[in-house]
């Protein structure tokens, strides 16, 4: 064999390896560039009389989140957020948008300008003076800074927050109606207000605020460029307000014309059912199969679910036989109606070591319902990446066992090599009082859920 063969072979392998690494890097960048991330916040249930409650922002947030998911966005949806909750959501948003195709921020609720700075107001804000606003509110600049750091291909900020400032008499800095004109913004950023700077917008008399209603109508039109949507929405708002309210748009016209709200194909009912089944088929909790049969009484996996449920119940009965050592089985027979009602959930999962890497932590806020001690609830849309479902039982003594099943949203937050949409499940144990509760994840990574009864 010629002595030049090995060097030539090594050189060829090195070139192939270099090409492969470049391809992987390009593919990874392309995946990131194709992502669309949105943070949607709707605040209406204000806790102090200085800031009146608003009827529509939570509806606005729900409907905008649903529409954006239909356009392929991964949506972080939050409603009636405290200052802490808004800060957590914005931080989570910032952690996800790095290098993505587009980052979109939508807010509906009270917004106040102070000395030409705009502040979005949490539901627990108690604003007693102009000086307290920066401490009680969230500066719009905080969101813009996260977007600037993320370097997304495009940034879109939509604020249906130009309601009249109800505490104008406490301010000394002059103009306080509506929002202030935006100052410097990250490159490639379009900012949209429900009405002109310094003016006020209508909260609307129907389900949605006037501006958000216009956007939702525009999303059903033929021109789904950002420019086309905003033009159609403006026409809707002007018509509905009798020409007294005109939305305000600030940002590059080329971006407005080039960005499209692409319609994605929603999974069919069969695919959604399959995803549900896949997420629970290895579960050892009878409540999961009861939930499946309740949702799909004539489903494709009905026989499998009934057989699995029969076996689990038999196992539960066997384990509940008198014994000095056997733990009490989880079942509805030991439950109580003392915990029945709707509960707000804050699920916080911390960063976790993962084979020399770090799986990013995250926070989810959603609601569960408890009836006769049976706990059910979900975050996100069934069948979509980022979905999480909780099913469990709260016993009469307040002890609880909860099964979590879901589909991975952001792979960077998953422990293990899993892609977006992969199913997962885990168990939690906790304790409840009639007004509050806590549960912790049993295995793999530290997660804690805090429950507050509404």
Q: Cα–Cα distance between 378 and 388 in angstroms, integer? A: 6
Residue 9 lies in a domain: no
Domain boundary among 233, 258, 283: 258
58 and 207 in a single domain? The answer is: yes
**Statement to judge: residues 251 and 376 lie in one domain:** no
Q: What pLDDT score does 415 carry?
A: 82
Domain membership flag for residue 183: yes
On whether both 170 and 299 belong to a single domain, the answer is no
Shared domain check, 313 and 230: no
Tell me, yes or no, whether 221 and 299 share the same domain: no
In a domain, 156, yes or no: yes
- CA pair distance 49, 71, nearest whole angstrom: 38
Angle made by CA atoms 229, 178, 176, in degrees to the nearest 5: 160
> 242 lies in a domain?
yes
pLDDT for 5: 35
Taking the C-alpha atoms of residue 408 and residue 385, their distance in angstroms, rounded to an integer, is 5
Q: By C-alpha distance, which of 347, 351, 367 is closest to 359? A: 351
Looking up tokens 């495009």 gives 154
Q: What is the predicted pLDDT for the residue at 164?
A: 55
Q: Is residue 132 part of a domain?
A: yes
Single out the residue of 409, 416, 373, 358 nearest to residue 388, CA to CA: 409
Q: How many domains does the chain have?
A: 2
- Give me the pLDDT at residue 226, please: 96
Residue 20 lies in a domain: no
My answer on whether 246 and 274 are in the same domain is no
Residue 3 within a domain: no
Where the chain has pLDDT below 70, the residues are: 1-34, 162-178, 180-181, 183-184, 196, 198-205, 264-271, 275, 279, 319-335
Q: Can you give the chain as a three-state secondary structure string?
A: CCCCHHHHHHHHHHHHHHHHHHHHHHHHHHHHHCCEEEEEEECCCCCCCCCCCCCCHHHHHHHHHHHHHHCCCEEEEEECCCHHHHHHHHHHHHHHCCCCCEEEEEEECCEEEECCEEEECCCCCCCCCHHHHHHHCEEHHHHHHHHHHHCCCEEEEEEECCCCCCCHHHCCCCCCCCCCCCCCCCCCEEEEECCCCCCCCCCCCCCCCHHHHHHHHHCCCCCCEHHHHHHHHHHHHHHHHCCCCCCEEECCHHHHHHCECCCCCCCCHHHHHHHHHHHHCCCCCHHHHHHHHHHCCCCCCHHHHHHHHHHHHHHHHHHCCCCCCCCCCCCHHHECHHHCEEEEEEEEECCEEECCEEECCEEEEEEEEEECCEEEEEECCCCCCCCEEEEEEEECCCEEEEEEEEECCCHHHCCCCCCCCCEEEEEEEEEECCCEEEEEECCCCCEEEEEEEC
Asked if 251 and 273 sit in the same domain, the reply is no
Same domain? For 206 and 313 the reply is no
pLDDT of residue 38: 95
Give pLDDT, residue 177: 54
Give the domain range for residue 154: 27-258
Judge if pTM exceeds 0.75.
no
CATH number at residue 121: 3.40.50.1460
Same domain, 252 and 181: yes
332 in a structural domain: yes
- Of 258, 290, 308, the domain-final residue: 258
Last residue in a domain, options 258, 283, 302: 258
pLDDT tens digits for 68-114? 998 989 999 999 999 999 999 999 999 999 989 999 999 999 988 88
**304, 212: one domain:** no
pLDDT at residue 202, rounded to an integer: 59
Backbone angles phi, psi at 322, to 5 degrees: -50, 130
Q: Are residues 175 and 284 in the same domain?
A: no
* Cα distance between residue 209 and residue 417, in whole Å: 43
Sheet-wide strand order for 74-79: 74-79, 36-42, 102-108, 154-160, 189-193, 248-250
pLDDT in tens, 207-244: 888 899 999 999 999 899 999 999 999 999 989 888 88
Whether residues 167 and 204 fall in one domain:
yes
């Amino acid at each position: 064999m010629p002595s030049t063969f090995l060097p030539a072979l090594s050189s060829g392998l090195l070139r192939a390896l270099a090409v492969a690494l470049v391809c992987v890097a390009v593919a990874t960048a392309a995946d990131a560039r194709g992502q669309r991330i949105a943070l949607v916040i709707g605040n209406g249930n204000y806790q102090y009389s200085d800031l009146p409650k608003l009827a529509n922002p939570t509806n606005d947030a729900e409907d905008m989140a649903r529409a954006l998911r239909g356009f392929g966005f991964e949506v972080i949806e939050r409603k009636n957020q405290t200052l802490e909750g808004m800060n957590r959501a914005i931080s989570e948003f910032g952690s996800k948008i790095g290098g993505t195709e587009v980052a979109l921020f939508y807010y509906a609720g009270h917004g106040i300008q102070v000395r030409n700075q705009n502040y979005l107001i949490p539901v627990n804000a108690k604003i007693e003076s102009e000086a307290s606003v920066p401490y009680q509110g969230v500066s719009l600049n905080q969101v813009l800074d996260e977007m600037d750091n993320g370097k997304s291909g495009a940034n879109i900020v939509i604020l249906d927050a130009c309601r009249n400032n109800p505490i104008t008499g406490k301010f000394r800095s002059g103009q306080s109606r509506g929002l202030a004109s935006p100052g410097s913004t990250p490159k490639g950023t379009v900012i949209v207000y429900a009405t002109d700077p310094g003016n006020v917008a209508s909260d609307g008399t129907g389900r949605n605020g006037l501006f958000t209603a216009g956007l939702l109508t525009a999303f059903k039109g033929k021109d789904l460029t950002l420019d086309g949507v905003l033009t159609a929405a403006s026409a809707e708002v002007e018509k509905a307000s009798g020409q007294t309210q005109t939305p305000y748009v600030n940002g590059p016209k080329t971006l407005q014309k080039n960005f499209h709200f692409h319609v994605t194909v929603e999974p069919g009912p069969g695919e959604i059912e399959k995803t549900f089944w896949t997420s629970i088929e290895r579960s050892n909790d009878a409540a999961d199969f009861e939930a499946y049969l309740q949702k799909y009484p004539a489903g494709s996996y009905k026989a499998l679910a009934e057989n699995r449920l029969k076996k689990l119940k038999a196992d539960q009965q066997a384990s509940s036989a008198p014994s000095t050592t056997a733990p009490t089985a989880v079942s509805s027979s030991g439950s109580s109606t003392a915990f029945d009602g709707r509960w707000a959930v804050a699920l916080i999962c911390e960063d976790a070591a993962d084979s020399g890497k770090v799986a990013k932590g995250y926070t989810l806020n959603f609601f569960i319902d408890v009836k006769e001690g049976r706990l059910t609830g979900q975050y996100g849309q069934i069948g979509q990446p980022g979905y999480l479902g909780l099913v469990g039982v709260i016993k009469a003594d307040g002890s609880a066992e909860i099964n979590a099943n879901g589909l991975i949203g952001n792979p960077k937050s998953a422990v293990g090599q899993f892609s977006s949409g992969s199913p997962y499940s885990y168990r939690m144990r906790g304790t409840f009082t009639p007004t509050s509760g806590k549960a912790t994840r049993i295995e793999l990574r530290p997660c804690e859920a805090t429950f507050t009864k509404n």
